[in-house]
Structure 1
Amino acid sequence: MKEKEFEDYFTELQADMISIALEYVNNDADKIYVYCSYEPEVYYFNVFYQIKGQIVHKHELNNIFKDTYDTSIERQKVVMKVGREDLEKILGACVEYKREMPTEMKLFYDVNLNKLQGEYKYNLIYSQTDDLLPNDIFNRWMEEIKN
């Protein structure tokens, strides 16, 4: 199959991840940060936001913006489920198009500029360690952005 078809599909799935993350905050974010990871048989997806100058995790939105968002466990599960499903579809596309699957994707979406950027890694990051989990890497990235 053609190179362009893979790139289109890959971009479409990343855009879907951003879309579900934006929907979660009622389209009310300045920046969205999506972290995805796939290391053999482990899928990980999570998101945090910049809203009104504050960096905030999806479950902490109402700590800062009192009762503005539906941060119910059910709603968070939907976001996580859609993100993981998109990640599984990306793996499927990589297999179909004989491409290497990224082990890590850091997506950054500037809502105001409508600009999506991504950083990708292809080496194992946590599965070969005894003390590192994908959530640790996600939290580390969030702290880097805060600082």
Structure 2
Amino acid sequence: MNNTRPQTDADPASKERLRLWLRFLKASRTIEAQLRENLRVEFASTLPRFDLMAALSRYEDGLKMSQLSGVLKVSNGNVTGIVDRLAEDGMIVRVPVPGDRRATLVRLTTRGHEEFAIQAAAHETWINDMLVDFSGQEARDIAGRLEQLDTSLQEKTK
């Protein structure tokens, strides 16, 4: 039988890196669960709705559905339902793309901008409360290291 499992015994840091990953994952899931609960309780909303509004808040002219899917890194099908519900609630509007009858831009309405600003302020407060044990400098240092990690991982997948 051919054993093709990678050998990690030679690198004593391997187990520590695995533990680090598991701690990242646990902390991320805990924070995400709390954010989901806070959005549900305080705004009768969801994290996907918040994420979509956050993406649109960065693009004043709006985004095509395919662009929005790319920004959110989800399928068009996932975005369509959320867009439909946000449009029904008056938070976003669909606007025809000049010269392309099949395409529409999605953008926040004035009401959507106002609601997102309220939710974003609450979101920042929630995150601050959850991460209050880190000083500003510690948060910058960890964020910098995670950015380095992300860059390294991106380069390895090219």
TM-score (norm 1): 0.32
Rg larger in structure: 2
Bigger proportion of residues as helix? 2
Bigger proportion of residues as strand? 1
TM-score (norm 2): 0.31
The structure whose RCO (Cα within 8 Å, separation 6+) is larger is: 1
